[in-house]
């Protein structure tokens, strides 16, 4: 059985950050295990911008953010196993691995970091009545289809749940030519960040129905529509409020669940409030030497906080391996109560410059509610002529990806977004492409360049 100092399960944002932190803390033998064919996790399909505002102090797309941490792991010579599934973890830190290349094998380590991420809740978790037709997807699956496989799920869309992925997909589907008729939310307030309500729904006139849920699914093989009803404060359906919404596609954005089958397999106690392991303030679980971080610990709103937390876990694992003793305190359920964003009901203008989503009020007496000078500049521009960064894909021939994600180098007028999207959608390129490489310079006289945000190799 091969032995390592540290094994990290999961090669997404948490795993990459933990690996880099452990190596920088002096641990030489670090093994990073990823079940996919490439590192980066969910970031690879998140081509929209907004990542990295805290860690790198600039707005990056998901692939760009992942690339920066991947370069760190390469610089540190982190050992990586791709296309490898961890099928079992024991409390003694013995891992069973399965891969096409090596079959079934066992490895062990002095310390383990759990960074498996999270998964989406599906229709089965919601008990929505009705038939089971084609055309129903989780928002993340639809995002993968469009951004990674160049497949458009449908043309007329309804979305259940106002989580951030659902909001982002409402915009993405609209920009790709679909009609998004409604976003339904059973709660009396949106679940996603306020800035995403502004930039993904309000910008495109997509209605958000609060205190509303789907009560029936109508189909003839393919989805034909849904019936939605209002609910009371106890989330019980109010009779007589049902409405029919025709659609051929339903996206579900109804929450994320930390991936913790391995944690339970090892006998690690789970926090019922978060769905992740119970940990102390150095991210160690109840089993000494096993640490947890990122969305496997609890679902985060921002990837920047995932990375920061994972770096702490990686550093803590390094200290454990070196025998540095600490006196940690347990993080209780109370610690998580303030992590959930609550939307203010008195918003005027919701700033989209950063994740804070400041509610800026403009009145005769002046501008208030901002927390930085960027907020003032943003709201003045919003009043005069709104501007947005555009992210999209171009089709690639002969590459290891079908799509190459792209973005504008600066925001453009919102009114120019449709024509730029049309131009981008007509472009076909031959591999290779590199992050930062120029695709378009000042297209149609618009004051921006369009650059690639994903590395695509020639096959």
**What is the pLDDT, as a whole number, of residue 335?**
42
**What is the pLDDT, as a whole number, of residue 322?**
93
Please say whether the dihedral angle defined by the alpha carbons of residues 392, 177, 153 and 133, taken in this order, is positive or negative: positive
Q: Where is 165: in which H helix or E strand? A: helix 164-175
**What is the pLDDT, as a whole number, of residue 334?**
42
Angle formed at CA 72 by CA 2 and CA 263, multiple of 5 degrees: 50
Q: Where is 314: in which H helix or E strand? A: helix 303-322
For 271, phi then psi, to 5°, come to -80, 115
Tally of CB atoms within 10 A around 356: 16
Q: What percent of the chain has pLDDT over 90?
A: 80
**What is the pLDDT, as a whole number, of residue 233?**
92
On whether the CB atoms of residues 446 and 420 are closer than 8 A, the answer is yes
Q: Does 344 have pLDDT greater than 90? A: no
What is the mean predicted confidence (pLDDT) over 60-88? 97
Q: Does 343 have pLDDT greater than 50? A: no
**HSE (side-chain half, CA atoms, 13 Å) at 264:** 9
Tally of CB atoms within 10 A around 393: 23
Please give the Cα distance from 76 to 16 (Å, whole number).
11
Strand partners, 99: 84, 103
Alpha helices in 11-61 (DSSP H): 13-24
- pLDDT (tens digit, 9 = 90+) per residue, 447-456? 899 999 999 9
On whether the CB atoms of residues 313 and 319 are closer than 8 A, the answer is no
Binning pLDDT at 50, 70 and 90, where does residue 328 land? low
Please give the Cα distance from 138 to 136 (Å, whole number).
7
Binning pLDDT at 50, 70 and 90, where does residue 355 land? confident
Q: Does 142 have pLDDT greater than 80? A: yes
Binning pLDDT at 50, 70 and 90, where does residue 345 land? very low
Q: What integer best gives the mean pLDDT of the chain?
A: 91
What is the mean predicted confidence (pLDDT) over 256-270? 96
**What is the pLDDT, as a whole number, of residue 341?**
29
On whether the CB atoms of residues 285 and 263 are closer than 8 A, the answer is yes
What is the mean predicted confidence (pLDDT) over 398-406? 95
Residue of higher predicted confidence among 365 and 115:
115
What is the mean predicted confidence (pLDDT) over 33-39? 97
Residue of higher predicted confidence among 176 and 378:
176
Matching residue, tokens 């090596």: 102
Alpha helices in 176-260 (DSSP H): 194-196
Binning pLDDT at 50, 70 and 90, where does residue 260 land? very high
On whether the CB atoms of residues 338 and 350 are closer than 8 A, the answer is no
What is the mean predicted confidence (pLDDT) over 397-406? 95
Task: Return the closest-CA partner of residue 208 out of 187, 238, 223.
Answer: 187
Distances (CA, A) of 355 to 290, 300, 365: 31, 12, 27
Tell me the two tokens of residue 427: 């472009």
- pLDDT (tens digit, 9 = 90+) per residue, 403-431? 999 999 999 999 999 999 999 999 999 99
State the pTM of this model: 0.87
Q: Does 90 have pLDDT greater than 90? A: yes
Contact partners, residue 150, CB within 8 Å, separation at least 6:
393, 395, 402, 403
For 124, phi then psi, to 5°, come to -60, -25
Please give the Cα distance from 120 to 256 (Å, whole number).
5
Task: Return the closest-CA partner of residue 210 out of 176, 233, 179.
Answer: 233
The structural domains of the chain, ordered by start, are 2-119+257-334 (3.50.50.60), 123-254 (3.50.50.60), 349-384 (no CATH), 388-452 (3.10.530.10)
On whether the CB atoms of residues 295 and 339 are closer than 8 A, the answer is no
Distance of CA 289 to the CA centre of its chain: 28
Q: Does 377 have pLDDT greater than 90? A: no
**What is the pLDDT, as a whole number, of residue 411?**
93
Q: Does 327 have pLDDT greater than 70? A: no
Q: Does 326 have pLDDT greater than 80? A: no
Binning pLDDT at 50, 70 and 90, where does residue 367 land? confident
- pLDDT (tens digit, 9 = 90+) per residue, 181-205? 999 999 999 998 888 999 999 999 9
What is the mean predicted confidence (pLDDT) over 136-142? 96
Residue of higher predicted confidence among 451 and 1:
451
Binning pLDDT at 50, 70 and 90, where does residue 376 land? confident
3-state SS class at 63: helix
Binning pLDDT at 50, 70 and 90, where does residue 346 land? very low
Q: Does 333 have pLDDT greater than 50? A: no
What is the mean predicted confidence (pLDDT) over 226-255? 95
- pLDDT (tens digit, 9 = 90+) per residue, 96-125? 999 999 999 999 999 999 999 999 998 877
**HSE (side-chain half, CA atoms, 13 Å) at 383:** 12
Binning pLDDT at 50, 70 and 90, where does residue 276 land? very high
DSSP state of 456: B
**What is the pLDDT, as a whole number, of residue 391?**
96
**What is the pLDDT, as a whole number, of residue 325?**
66
Matching residue, tokens 């599906």: 122
């Amino acid at each position: 059985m091969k032995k390592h100092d540290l094994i990290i399960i999961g090669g997404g944002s948490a795993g990459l950050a933990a690996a880099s932190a452990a190596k920088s803390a002096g641990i030489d033998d670090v093994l990073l295990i990823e079940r996919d064919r490439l590192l980066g996790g969910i970031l690879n399909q998140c081509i929209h911008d907004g990542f990295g505002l805290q860690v790198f102090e600039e707005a990056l797309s998901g692939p760009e953010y992942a690339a920066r941490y991947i370069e760190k792991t390469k610089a540190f010579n982190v050992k990586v196993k791709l296309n490898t599934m961890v099928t079992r973890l024991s409390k003694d830190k013995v891992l069973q691995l399965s891969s096409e290349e090596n079959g079934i094998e066992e490895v062990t380590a002095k310390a383990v970091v759990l960074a498996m991420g999270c998964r989406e809740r599906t229709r089965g978790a919601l008990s929505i009545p009705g038939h089971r037709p084609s055309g129903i997807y989780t928002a993340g699956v639809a995002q993968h289809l469009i951004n990674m496989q160049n497949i458009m799920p449908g043309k007329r869309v309804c979305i259940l749940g106002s989580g951030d992925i659902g909001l982002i997909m409402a915009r993405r589907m609209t920009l790709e030519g679909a009609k998004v008729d409604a976003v339904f939310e059973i709660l009396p307030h949106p679940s996603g960040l306020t800035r995403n309500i502004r930039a993904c729904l309000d910008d495109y006139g997509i209605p958000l129905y609060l205190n509303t849920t789907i009560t029936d699914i109508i189909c003839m093989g393919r989805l034909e529509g849904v019936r939605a009803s209002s609910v009371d404060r106890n989330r019980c359906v109010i009779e007589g409020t049902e409405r029919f919404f025709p659609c051929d596609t339903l996206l579900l954005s109804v929450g994320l669940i930390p991936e913790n089958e391995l944690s339970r397999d090892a006998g690690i106690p789970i926090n019922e409030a978060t769905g992740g392991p119970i940990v102390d303030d150095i991210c160690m679980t109840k089993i000494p030497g096993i640490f947890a971080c990122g969305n496997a610990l609890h679902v985060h709103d921002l990837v920047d906080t995932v990375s920061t937390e994972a770096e702490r876990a990686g550093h803590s694992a390094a200290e454990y391996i070196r025998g540095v003793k600490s006196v940690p305190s347990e993080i209780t359920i109370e610690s998580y109560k303030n992590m959930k964003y609550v939307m203010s009901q008195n918003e005027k203008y919701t700033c989209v410059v950063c994740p804070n989503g400041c509610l800026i009020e403009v009145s005769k007496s002046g501008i208030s509610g901002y927390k930085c000078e960027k907020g003032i500049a943003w709201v003045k521009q919003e009043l005069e002529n709104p501007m947005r960064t555009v992210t999209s894909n171009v089709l690639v021939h002969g590459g290891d990806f079908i799509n190459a994600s792209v973005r504008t180098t600066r925001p453009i007028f919102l009114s120019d977004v449709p024509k730029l999207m049309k131009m981008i959608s007509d472009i076909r390129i031959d591999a290779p492409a590199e992050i930062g490489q120029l695709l378009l310079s000042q297209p149609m006289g618009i004051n921006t360049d369009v650059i690639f945000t994903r590395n695509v190799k020639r096959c």
